[in-house]
């Protein structure tokens, strides 16, 4: 059987794999030890030397040249979480070690949160709920786009953006999107019309952000873009707070009470004490809950166990990430 290790934070192991996932992996591999944190693995070099497979998640060790020198037999990494950017290095790609991630699986709860938020936003539900708290004088109906022939704008069509587009298909809405890496033919297959970033903001009733946080995307959502949103429009961010120039966003929202921002992510996170995002009446904050939470995390671990089964059978990996992909992923 294949010698294997779990290396990740203790809390991450409980959330992603737990006793059930541990038992499943133990049935399939020759587990060399109980789950280890990265510091514990560093203190047990004999285990790393023997391992051919690592199951991981949040708290994975940085797999640089020094780490890999101590893992001469390593052939595959099954990462039961999202971004691999913090641990995947050029040395890892150079060794041609198979790296697979649950990032696409983590897109499922994010797309569910986003779908629910989009549909509620088309009814301007957030503003209706907030106004109603003022008492009878706030208990009134506002003009709203509604769910018939409205337009939803998606910024980026990565794994999450594509899944959101698919989930929107049964509804009577038009979907437009901005993504410079997607062709018109690919967009057509998704039922999406491509547009420039300013067009997405100017034409949409709801705009939802799904771009990765890269140097090129940092601060890409400016106050000027937000200011061209249609009256009563909503901006949703489940991607990364650093995409948005939040000081400019706050200034526009203060001037335009007709707009709503639903922010599941901010930068910093949570917002600094005294941030206007806490007090603006047209901002809805949630504490980064769109991704996998609680029981949903076990889906990530199961996806990696299924991926190991494919790897062991010599089948193509469903969620494998290669060097070229990694450069453009969150």
Exactly one of 288, 298, 299, 310 is catalytic; name it. Answer: 288
What's the chain's average pLDDT? 96
Q: Could you state, in order of their start, the residue ranges of all structural domains in the chain?
A: 3-101+294-326, 106-285
Burial of 327 (0-12, 13-18, 19+ CB in 10 A): exposed
Exactly one of 124, 240, 246, 307 is catalytic; name it. Answer: 240
Compute the distance between CA of residue 175 and CA of residue 149 in angstroms, rounded to an integer. Answer: 10
| Topology agreement, domain 3-101+294-326 and domain 106-285 | yes
Is 269 noted as a catalytic residue in this protein? yes
Is 240 noted as a catalytic residue in this protein? yes
Sequence-ordered strand ranges (E) for 198-291: 206-209, 234-237, 260-263, 283-285
Domain 106-285 homologous superfamily, CATH:
NAD(P)-binding Rossmann-like Domain (3.40.50.720)
Burial of 12 (0-12, 13-18, 19+ CB in 10 A): buried
pLDDT for res 326 = 64
Backbone angles phi, psi at 161, to 5 degrees: -60, -40
Neighbours of 178 (CB within 10 A): 22
Per-residue pLDDT of the chain (330 residues; tens, 9 = 90+): 999 999 999 999 999 999 999 999 999 999 999 999 999 999 999 999 999 999 999 999 999 999 999 999 999 999 999 889 899 999 999 999 999 999 999 999 999 999 999 999 999 999 999 889 889 988 999 999 999 999 999 999 999 999 999 999 999 999 999 999 999 999 999 999 999 999 999 999 999 999 999 889 999 999 999 999 999 999 999 999 999 999 999 999 999 999 999 999 999 999 999 999 999 999 999 999 999 999 999 999 999 999 999 999 999 999 999 877 766 665
Sequence-distant (≥ 6) Cβ neighbours of residue 12 within 8 angstroms:
57, 58, 59, 81
**pLDDT, tens digit, 9 for 90 and up, residues 204-221:** 999 999 999 988 999 999
Q: What is the largest CA-CA distance in the chain?
A: 70
Domain 3-101+294-326 homologous superfamily, CATH:
NAD(P)-binding Rossmann-like Domain (3.40.50.720)
Exactly one of 52, 166, 269, 296 is catalytic; name it. Answer: 269
pTM: 0.90
Compute the distance between CA of residue 315 and CA of residue 312 in angstroms, rounded to an integer. Answer: 8
**pLDDT, tens digit, 9 for 90 and up, residues 32-54:** 999 999 999 999 999 999 999 99
């Amino acid at each position: 059987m294949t010698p294997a290790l779990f290396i990740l934070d203790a809390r991450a192991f409980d959330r992603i794999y737990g006793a059930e996932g541990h038992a499943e992996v133990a049935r399939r591999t020759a587990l060399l030890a109980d789950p280890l944190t990265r510091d514990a693995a560093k203190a047990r070099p004999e285990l790393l030397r023997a391992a051919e497979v690592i199951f991981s998640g949040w708290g994975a060790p940085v797999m640089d040249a020094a780490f890999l020198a101590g893992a001469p037999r390593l052939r595959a990494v099954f990462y039961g979480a999202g971004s691999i950017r913090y641990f995947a290095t050029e040395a890892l790609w150079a060794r041609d070690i198979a790296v697979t991630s649950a990032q696409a699986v983590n897109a499922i709860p994010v797309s569910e949160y986003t779908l629910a938020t989009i549909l509620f936003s088309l009814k301007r539900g957030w503003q209706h709920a907030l106004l109603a708290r003022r008492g009878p004088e706030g208990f009134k109906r506002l003009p709203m786009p509604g769910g018939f022939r409205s337009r939803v704008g998606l910024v980026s069509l990565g794994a999450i953006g594509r899944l959101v587009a698919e989930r929107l298909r049964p509804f009577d809405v038009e979907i437009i999107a901005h993504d410079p890496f997607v062709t018109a033919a690919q967009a057509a297959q998704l039922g999406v019309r491509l547009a420039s970033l300013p067009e997405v903001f100017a034409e949409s009733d709801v705009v939802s952000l799904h771009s990765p946080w890269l140097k090129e995307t940092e601060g890409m959502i400016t106050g000027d873009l937000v200011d061209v949103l249609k009256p009563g429009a909503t901006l949703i961010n489940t991607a990364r707070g650093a995409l948005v120039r939040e000081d400019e966003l706050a200034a526009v929202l203060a001037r335009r009470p007709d707009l709503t921002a639903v922010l599941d992510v901010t930068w910093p996170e949570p917002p600094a004490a005294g941030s206007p995002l806490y007090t603006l009446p047209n901002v809805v904050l949630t504490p980064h809950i769109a991704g996998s939470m609680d029981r949903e995390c076990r889906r990530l671990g199961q996806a990696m166990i299924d991926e190991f089964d494919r790897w062991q059978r010599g089948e193509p990996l469903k969620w494998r990430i290669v060097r070229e992909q990694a450069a453009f992923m969150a």
